Structure 1
Amino acid sequence: MTVDVLLVAAGALALVAAAWSERIRRLPVSEPLLALAIGVLLGPAVLGVLPLPDLLEDHAWLHTAARLLLAVSVMSVALRYPFRTARARWRPVLLLLAVVMPAMAVVTAGLAALTLGVGLGVAALIGAALTPTDPVLASTVTTGKPAEEDLPGRDRQVLSLESGANDGLALALVLVALALAGPLSMGGALLETLWDVVGALLLGAFLGWLGGQALKAGADHGATDPGPELVFTIVLAFATLGVGGLIHVDGIFAVFVCGLAFNAVSTGREREADVRIDEAVNRFVVLPLFLAFGAILPWAEWRTLGWSGLLFAVLVLLLRRPPVVYLLRRPLHLARPDAAYLGWFGPIGVSALFYLTLESERLAIDPVVLVAGTLVVAVSTVVHGLTATPGRVAYRALAGPKGRDEGAEEGRDQDHDRSGSSSGSDG
């Protein structure tokens, strides 16, 4: 019955979101926020018709669901823009990954130690898990007609690509945190990180190239039906994730690299179909997860944290990312409004749930890691969901028509280029 209630609620919300998609994107609310609110309503805190296992006692299902959803999401990001566009953004994305991501982990860990009074190991675990910007929540501000009208293409592309890449690469920070917490030596953590990243690069590049070549050959010879072609990259994402798990490499990062490699070798026609189906899945499959998350929110444990927990969540949103991105606006070649926007919209969501539960599986961690971490995820879902549309309006006012039009002109052709020139011949 629990699964049936979840499916009915998620299906009803998906129907509304699909029918009113354009209007919802113009409202100060996001689909994940709506799903979270409905989950709270159906959960034990209100109606009690959606009983799910206690988060602190059984979260293996949440970890698996987050892992599968992230695979679909990072594949969607990798296919969202022509490969030449992704290649052109490597400098700001690399700076965000190499400098901003570690800084966010350190800031978050420091805030955890100061506000929650936890030790170094626990603070490091919290900081690492809450570091990656979430591709699922970020897609609410980077895709759709309103975003394309109001935001420069470059900003949307950089935020999307960063969220896709750092979801997998955050595993390196998690491994270092596990070493600080005790179960791993620092040398072992570094060796595992090296194998995870290098193995994921090789695996993702090979499977993406192979998949792109296979689909292109099948399409050229008329051997691929339109139906299977539409879901090919979803199947490819799951296959890559599975192989990554078998050989113990970073599966999420492997899927992202796989998507980029597939993007580079496939034709414009194939890529257009894959983008449509991946964006649709990325947008609607997330709803059951946020519904379930809303139903298992640990209200009693949050009350135990008291005001220090809420203070921690607020400070994380304010200090984890915005000041770092703003200080790096010149190396990132961002105007002040762009730096403020990119700094604020680094939401914390599914990827944080994935790493919080991963840490809990690998180590008998202090419950405060899951309790404080889920509080930040819930607050981020609410706050970023409510500020997405007002944020676009504020950016439009601050940037002015000249800066916005220049950015839009730069990104417009790249966003909508579906011709063969955006395929492997450019890669």
Structure 2
Amino acid sequence: MDPHIIVLGGLGTLILLVAWVPTLTPKLPLSLPIICIGIGFALFSQLGAEELQPTAHVRTLEILTELTVIISLAGAGLKIDDPLKWRHWTDTQRLLGITMPLTIGGIAALGAYYLGLPWETALLIGAVIAPTDPVLAADVQVGPPSSGPGDKVRASLTSEAGLNDGLAFPFTYLAIAVAINGTSPGAWTWDWFTMDVLWRITAGVAAGWFFGWLLGLLMFRSGRMSLASTGQGFVALGGTFVTYAGAEAIHGYGFIAVFVGALALRSTQEEAHDYHVRLHDFTEEIERLLMMFLLVLFGGSLAGPLLDGLTWPMAVAGLVILFVIRPLAGMIGLIGSKMKPREKAVVSLFGIRGVGSFYYLAYASSKAEFGELDSAWTLVSFLVLASILFHGMTAGSIMLWLDRRREAARQRS
């Protein structure tokens, strides 16, 4: 049989699994990402995975993960029904402004002092691991458009995942700058702060808001020529790509622009319009297909030498990052929040790591020389695997437990 026939048949089977598996395992401690990794591991254990290692295909990995993340960010923005007012986003501000920097600093210190990694590599690991992944966090996010504002836990995790992928970029650029210039401050420090922090964030937000407003105009306020009248869901993909490209063209952060653009579009006067749901549903389907493809490849790479360099100190460091640094930083960041303690604990624990981490690592490794970069790939791969397994097996039951506690409290009041 021709190889391309085998590939088409295998791809078709995997696509069917994307739709079928969630209906088969609603009460099992399994998630679609876990199953995709298992399929990839089993498949490439037979076919061979030596050529599937991410370090051998950095540019391809960067493009695929970039595409997956921006589509996921657009979907996350379209989900949020909460009004765009500061008082509704206070918990998100805490998670972004306090928890994320604390997490990056804690991981960098652990990498440098405990694992003995060069500072630029330790900082890079902190930057790529800190963001909550929007691709793999579907089980802990709010529902589709017009389903109503989510509870504080889901709303916080959705908005955090939507914004901190973009806000990890300044720290990634800082790691690149340190790798090029060393740790001593100099002219590069001011350039990094003014360009990579101030300008790129501002430009990303502005571009996202502009393109979101423009797309809202074209979709809902153009009479018979409105895009909404076409009923086509793939318009979401076009709008996402245009927003991302527009932000990057002015050296803004495209990840931030895509999420902000989706929020701006979602907040148009047609808030209950069915077309928002159609756009979200199409985006989610494409995101799931890309996620499936990447995780099957990730599972296949695990069948090769990807984790051969994992040592006990690295494994301990990974578990400390997942179960100590992020939860502790989350609880500190949420001091003053109106969430109940158990809700704060869940938000702090569910900092899911995934596709975005691979994107940043691939991006940075193509921009500068980092010492012991293979150790960074090994540690990040282990962290992503551990996060997918733990969060995938526990997310459903923990969120159900929270919902039951919330409903019981409501009935008592």
Aligned match of 1:215: 219
Report the secondary structure of 1:248's partner residue. Answer: coil
The Cα of 1:277 is off from its aligned counterpart by 2.1
- Structure-1 separation of matches of 2:374 and 2:28: 36
Question: Residue 272 of structure 1 corresponds to which residue in structure 2?
Answer: 277
Q: What is the match of residue 185 of structure 2?
A: none
Deviation (angstroms), 1:81: 2.2
User: How far, CA to CA, are the matches of 1:134 and 1:168 in structure 2?
Assistant: 11
What's the secondary structure of 1:362's corresponding residue?
coil
How far apart, in 1, do the equivalents of 2:156 and 2:7 lie?
Answer: 34
Rounded Cα–Cα distance in structure 1 between residues aligned with 2:253 and 2:193: 13
Find 1:372's aligned residue among 344, 355, 379. Answer: 379
Q: Tell me, what secondary structure is at the counterpart of 1:229?
A: coil
| Number of aligned residues | 400
Q: Is the 8 A contact 1:69 1:285 kept in 2?
A: yes
Structure 1 residues not aligned, in runs of 5+? 408-427
One-letter amino acid matched to 2:218: A
Counterpart of 1:191 (choices 187, 191, 194) is 194
Match of 1:381 among 371, 385, 388: 388
Kindly tell me: are residues 334 and 299 of structure 1, through their superposed partners in 2, closer, same or farther at Cα, counting changes over 3 Å?
farther
Residue number in structure 1 paired with 2:339: 334
Q: Against the structure 1 CA distance between its residues 325 and 404, is the aligned structure 2 distance closer, same or farther, given a 3 Å change threshold?
A: farther
Indicate the larger mover: 115-124 or 265-274: 265-274
Distance 2:3 2:112 in 1: 38
Q: 1:240, CA displacement in angstroms?
A: 1.7
Q: What whole-Å deviation, never above 9, does each CA across 1:300-354 have from its counterpart, x for those lacking one?
A: 3533332122112211111231122223444222212101111111100011111
* Alpha-carbon distance between aligned partners in 2 of 1:18 and 1:223, rounded to the nearest angstrom: 31
Shift of 1:390: 3.1
1:233 aligns with 2:236: yes
CA pair 54-283 structure 1, distance change in 2 beyond 3 A: closer
Partner of 2:165: 167
Q: Distance in 2 between matches of 1:217 and 1:139?
A: 31
Q: Secondary structure at 1:343's aligned position in 2?
A: helix
Quote the residue 2:408 is aligned against.
Answer: 402
Residue 51 (structure 2) pairs with residue 13 (structure 1): no
Quote the RMSD (CA, aligned, Å): 2.9
Q: How far apart in 2 are the matches of 1:114 and 1:404?
A: 48
Instruction: From 310, 315, 318, give the equivalent of 2:320.
Output: 315
User: Could you state the TM-score of these two structures normalised by the residue count of structure 1?
Assistant: 0.85
TM-score under structure 2 normalisation? 0.87
1:136 match: secondary structure: coil
Whether 2:97 is the aligned partner of 1:92: answer: no
What is the alpha-carbon distance in structure 1 between the residues aligned to residue 229 and residue 21 of structure 2?
Answer: 27
- Whether contact under 8 Å (2:40, 2:295) holds in the other structure is yes
Give the match for residue 419 of structure 1.
Answer: none
Alignment of 1:124-203 (within 5 A): 124-143=123-142, 153-183=151-181, 185-193=188-196, 194-203=198-207
Matched-pair identity in %: 24
Deviates more, 1:245-254 or 1:64-73: 245-254
Tell me what 2:70 maps to: 71
